[in-house]
Amino acid sequence: MGEHTTMAKGNWAWQDLGTTDIDAAVAFYTNVFGWNVVPIPMEGFEYRMLYVGELPIGGVNPAGEDGESGWIPYVAHPALEEAISTINDSGGMTHEGSPHHIPGVGRMSYHQDPEGADFALFEGEGDWSSHVMPTMQAPKSAPVWYELQCGDTGKEIPWYQAFTGWGHVEWPMGEGMVYNGLTVGEAPVSGVFNKDAFGESGQPTHWRIYFEAPTTAAETAEAIKAAGGTIVQEPAPIPGTGIFMLAKDPTGALFGVLESEQQ
């Protein structure tokens, strides 16, 4: 375990979009975010690798077994077997075929947490062992924040901490609402909130990925609509953070956009 791999633990490393229409999804995101796309032949399909400038951030592949479009985030972890056994022993689930190895890139495993949220783990090798997303200080159009909305923060947070090593801070939002920050060292990497307290009780537990707005939040909202997406939550300010919104791409995958305040 080199210095880089331990540094990466608990940071976000990647995201995949599973979609019902790869071509439509790729056209949408390149239009809105200006991502560069590199096709990579895989068994039975073409994986589309996504770049923000020179930074590889994720990929697009066909929708999973449930046939629904959605984003899945990957957490970096230097000891996959150890993490998988912790997940399986504590009420989580590991999908069949995990872990999966891509020579020269690393190993990845696919999971659901106890409330059913999908996520993945990534144990990178070589140059990929220190590959992490620039959370909080992301360049435009790059992943900037990861957020779990769940039913029971008191159970979900320690469940993830057991294998990620995340620290925990509370950010009171007023009116009894608490937004939980999860950290790697001092750096916040994720947010977790109780969906009942935040008025989203009908929603399934899931991870959301936010991308830094390519221009302003308002302009990005217009670009999303013009490209065939829908706005789920109109741009709204979060004091001290920026302006955020939620949207769906034309194939139904939910994602967030944040126009970060200039620090």
Domains of the chain with bracketed CATH: 3-130 (3.10.180.10), 143-260 (3.10.180.10)
Cα 62–Cα 67–Cα 132 angle in degrees, nearest 5: 50
For 123, phi then psi, to 5°, come to -110, 95
Q: 140, 220 in Cβ contact below 8 A?
A: no
pTM: 0.95
**CA–CA distance, 198 with 232 (Å, rounded to integer):** 15
Q: How many residues does the chain have?
A: 263
Q: Which two tokens stand for residue 157?
A: 């947070």
Q: Residue 215 has what DSSP assignment?
A: S
Tens of pLDDT, residue by residue, the chain (263 residues)? 333 444 589 999 999 999 999 999 999 999 999 999 999 998 888 999 999 999 999 999 999 888 999 999 999 999 999 999 999 999 999 999 999 999 999 999 999 999 999 999 999 999 999 999 988 889 999 999 999 999 999 999 999 999 999 999 999 887 878 999 999 999 999 999 999 988 888 889 999 999 999 999 999 999 999 999 999 999 999 888 999 999 999 999 999 999 999 76
Tokens 């590959």 identify what position?
Answer: 131
